[in-house]
Structure 1
């Protein structure tokens, strides 16, 4: 039987959301929309912060054992950054668009929560990741025009293309790539894990 939490978690897969966001940004920039420029900045900022936190822990063991924090949840962060903008675009901006963005945040919160029963993240990682992504999406839409002037079929097409990426490269997982980069940068033979973080914290005490 399919795990419903795993199914929900797939909606926060960066292989789905990053290509979708990049395509929508390209269309938005082509059409001259300011929200697209703000979204680029938010995407880069959130992505670099999440990546830095993961590399710091996996490569050097930098985390907070007391709150079980080993880095921002990437699923929670990218979901909160991308889904509100997608649903804002799909609902056409204005008051309806605000409802769309709110639904996007609710969906992102659900995706973030799904990481808990899957034992992929702790509460501190999910909440901080969601807050980081939500700040990015709200900054993107804070001064958005009432009507985004982006046709719904373009948004749907971008989602369709994004949905094809995980199927096209099922063997590629971003976490595995981050682990390899962290080990290469730190020179560690093995990446740090939660147990090592707790053990190091115990030694310091």
Structure 2
């Protein structure tokens, strides 16, 4: 079962999600400009709030001890701001297909978020906060006009392939270490807070 959790967690990694979403954003037609800008804003807000929460705890110890909350789960937040929108895009302009795509994207985001519990990467409060943040932002994104049409197969393949480049070429990219270094630099501390 550990391999299932690791696999789910891998498809919620920002090194995969952000390049994939960027390709889809660039490929959206001009007729979907409002959707494009809303989604880009939603991704930026989700990533910024998640990073800020991690820096607040690591640099200054700001969190909620009784809830074991040290910051939003990045996997939960980013997968829930990206996969529901990707699902809706794959559904195209048909209402029924779009709803199925949206629900599939939400289920995948929930599974990714839950995978962080058995991997001991986050507490339940961090997972729920990440899901709330990401789903709130993806809901705002999709509250605009629905996508005009489903992306072409070539676009989808390009999104998947480009999304895979960073995780495959740099499997041990120390993103967590970068956040730690940033927290140290901003707070002036030599050691970061890592637990209550």
**1:138 and 2:139 correspond:** yes
TM-score (ref. length: structure 2): 0.93
Task: Give the conservation status (yes or no) of the 8 Å contact 2:31–2:148.
Answer: no
1:149 deviates by 4.8
1:3 deviates by 2.2
- The correspondence of residues 103-122 of structure 1 with structure 2, limited to 5 A, is 103-122=104-123
Of the structure 1 ranges 78-87 and 151-160, higher mean CA displacement relative to structure 2 is found in: 151-160
Q: Give the ranges of 4+ consecutive aligned residues of structure 1 lying more than 4 Å apart after TM superposition.
A: none
Q: Distance in 1 between matches of 2:157 and 2:138?
A: 19
Q: Relative to 1, partners in 2 of residues 1:123 and 1:2: Cα closer, same or farther, differing over 3 Å?
A: closer
- The correspondence of residues 145-156 of structure 1 with structure 2, limited to 5 A, is 145=146, 147-156=148-157
Query: What's the counterpart of residue 5 of structure 1?
Result: 5
Q: Distance in 1 between matches of 2:138 and 2:150?
A: 18
- The correspondence of residues 29-178 of structure 1 with structure 2, limited to 5 A, is 31-33=30-32, 34-93=34-93, 94-145=95-146, 147-178=148-179
Query: What's the counterpart of residue 19 of structure 2?
Result: 19
Q: Distance in 1 between matches of 2:134 and 2:77?
A: 4
Task: Give the conservation status (yes or no) of the 8 Å contact 1:88–1:100.
Answer: yes
State the superposition RMSD in angstroms. Answer: 1.6
Aligned length: 194
1:148 deviates by 3.2
Task: Give the conservation status (yes or no) of the 8 Å contact 2:79–2:109.
Answer: yes
1:20 deviates by 0.8
1:176 deviates by 1.7
Q: Matched residue of 1:63: which SS?
A: coil
Task: Give the conservation status (yes or no) of the 8 Å contact 1:90–1:152.
Answer: no
TM-score (ref. length: structure 1): 0.89
1:105 deviates by 0.6
Q: Distance in 2 between matches of 1:37 and 1:14?
A: 19
Of the structure 1 ranges 168-177 and 67-76, higher mean CA displacement relative to structure 2 is found in: 168-177
Q: Distance in 2 between matches of 1:173 and 1:78?
A: 18
1:174 deviates by 2.1
